[in-house]
Amino acid sequence: MMDVSTLLTILRSRKVNLWVEGSRLRCSAPVGAIDAELKSALVDQKDEIIALLQADTPPGHLAEAPPARSEQPASSTLQTICREVAAPVPVAPERMTQFVNELRSCSFDLASCAKRLGVFPRLGVNFWASMRPDWVARANDPIDNLISLFIDGRQVNANLFAKQLTSRFVDTALDMGLLTDCAGGVLQANACLFPCYGSYIVTDHPAKNSTINQVMWLWGESFVLGGLVKRSPRRRAVDLGTGSGIHAILAADHCSSVIGADVNPRAVEFATFNAMLNGKSNAQFILSDLFNSIEGTCDLLLANPPYAPDSAAQPGDNFWSGGLQGTDLLRKIVESLPAKLDPDGTAHLIALYPNPPATKTRDHFDMWLGGKIGDWDVLDHTWPVPHYEDLFSLQPYQGDKSAWRFGVVSLRRSASGNGWWKEGAGRGLFFGTDGRCNLVADHDGH
C-alpha cells in the first residue's frame, strides 16, 4: 500500500488540495489528476490524512510536506552552468542597513512569500519556475518582482522595479554586485536573496555550477533548522558548515558571540557579507575543517553538514557530499560533542540519516558516542524519506533507502545520567501556511 507521505507528495505535485470540514476529508483537483489508484489510496488512508491535517494545520489547507531535498523529483530542473560569479561586495554599513530596511518595509518576508508560493520552506521544490508553472509574477507587485529576480533568477524591468522599490535600493544592489543592469532595460540577479526569519541571506543561484564551489541556497532544511532552534540566551554558538552563514546569523540575535566555520572560502566570504548586511557584528566566520581551527567550547552547536551518500565526491569537495555512507562529517561532529559542547549546551544537527535497513538513527549516535547515548537527552525530529533523490552526485546511491530518515536531532547532556531519546517530528509538518515554523526543539518542554 502507498504510504501517506508518498501519497501526499504525488497529490501535491498534481495540484490536488485537501482539507477537512467537520470530520470529512474534502478535496479539489484538476480534471484527471486523481486516477483510480490514487483514489483507492485516498480512501485507504483517509483517516490518517484527516488526523494529519487536523493536527498540523489550520483548517482548510493542506500542510506542505517536509522540505528535505530528498523527495524532490527535480534533477532535471537543475541547470548545469560553468560561469564565474563574483561574490557580493560589502558597501558602507548605512547603505546596507537602508537596503535591508527597504526589503522589510515592502514586506519581503516569509509570510508574503508563503502567500504567493505556498509554504516558503518548500522553496527547495518550488523556487524552480518549471516546478510551479502556474505562478505568474504580477509586474505591478514589488514582492512578485523580488521573488522573480532574487529567487527565480528571472529578469525584471529596471525602471518599474526602481519605482516600486527605490532607485537607491537598485543602486546599492548594483554596487554590492547583487544585480547587473542588462541591455534592454532589465535587471538580472547574480545571486539569490532570501528572507529568513527576519534576516536576509544572499546565496549562490540554484544550479550545478562547475566552476565555483557553490554557497548553498536556502533549502527547506535551512528553514527547518532555523525554525527548530530554541532562541534562548547563550554564551557562544558555533555553526559548522555555515555556508551562507544563515544559522550563525540567526544565532547572533540571542548569543553573545557566534563563530561560523566552513572549508569553502567562498562560503566564508558570503557569510561575512550576510552578517554585515544584517548588522551582526558579534558573528565571525573562519575557514575551518569542522572544529579544527576553533578553540574552546560552545553552548549552542548548530550544523547542517553535507550529508548525501556520494561515491563520486569527497566530503568537503562541495556542499552536499557526506562521503560514501553520507555520514563522514556528521559522525565527526557527533564524536566531538563530549569535548566541544559545554555541560549545559545543546547541539542541533540537521542531516540525512541513511540508516541501513533494520538500523535506527539512535544506534549510529550511540556508536559515535562510544556507547554512551544514555548520557544524553535527545529530541529526534526526523521523519522517513524512503524516496530520497540525489540531485547532484555523478553516481547517485541506488540501494535500499527504506530506513532513511531526514531532520533535526537535538542533544543535551542528561542531568540525571539517565538519558532519553524522544521522537517528535511525526511527518515533519512543522510549518503553518503563513510560513512560520510551529515547533521548537525544546528539551525543557519534554
Cross-strand partners of 382: 407
CA 249/CA 201 separation, integer angstroms: 9
261, 378, 385, 408: residue in contact with ligand SAM (rule CB under 6 A): 261
Contact flags string 186-225 toward ligand SAM, x per CB under 6 A: ------------------------------x-x---x---
- From 386, 439, 436, 433, select the one nearest 408 (Cα to Cα): 439
In the complex with ligand SAM, the residue whose CB is nearer, 199 or 244, is: 244
Question: What is the total count of residues that contact ligand SAM (CB under 6 A)?
Answer: 24
Q: Is the dihedral of CA 93, 280, 340, 428 positive or negative?
A: negative
The residues, ordered by sequence, that sit 6+ positions from 413 with a Cβ below 8 Å of its Cβ are 341, 343, 344, 345, 375, 376, 377
| 240 makes contact with ligand SAM (CB under 6 A) | yes
306, 345, 407, 435: residue in contact with ligand SAM (rule CB under 6 A): 306
| 263 makes contact with ligand SAM (CB under 6 A) | yes
Q: Which among 31-39, 70-78, 263-271, 436-444 is the span making contact with ligand SAM, rule CB under 6 A?
A: 263-271
CA 245/CA 240 separation, integer angstroms: 9
49, 96, 176, 246: residue in contact with ligand SAM (rule CB under 6 A): 246
In the complex with ligand SAM, the residue whose CB is nearer, 177 or 226, is: 226
Residue 292 C-beta: closest distance to ligand SAM, Å: 8
In the complex with ligand SAM, the residue whose CB is nearer, 114 or 240, is: 240
| 259 makes contact with ligand SAM (CB under 6 A) | no
153, 241, 323, 435: residue in contact with ligand SAM (rule CB under 6 A): 241
| 156 makes contact with ligand SAM (CB under 6 A) | no
Q: Which among 77-85, 191-199, 256-264, 410-418 is the span making contact with ligand SAM, rule CB under 6 A?
A: 256-264
Q: Tell me how far the alpha carbon of residue 419 is from its chain's centroid.
A: 29
Contact flags string 265-294 toward ligand SAM, x per CB under 6 A: --x---------------------xx----
| 242 makes contact with ligand SAM (CB under 6 A) | yes
124, 220, 316, 435: residue in contact with ligand SAM (rule CB under 6 A): 316
Binding site for ligand SAM (CB under 6 A): 216, 218, 222, 240-244, 246-247, 261-264, 267, 289-290, 304-306, 315-316, 319, 329
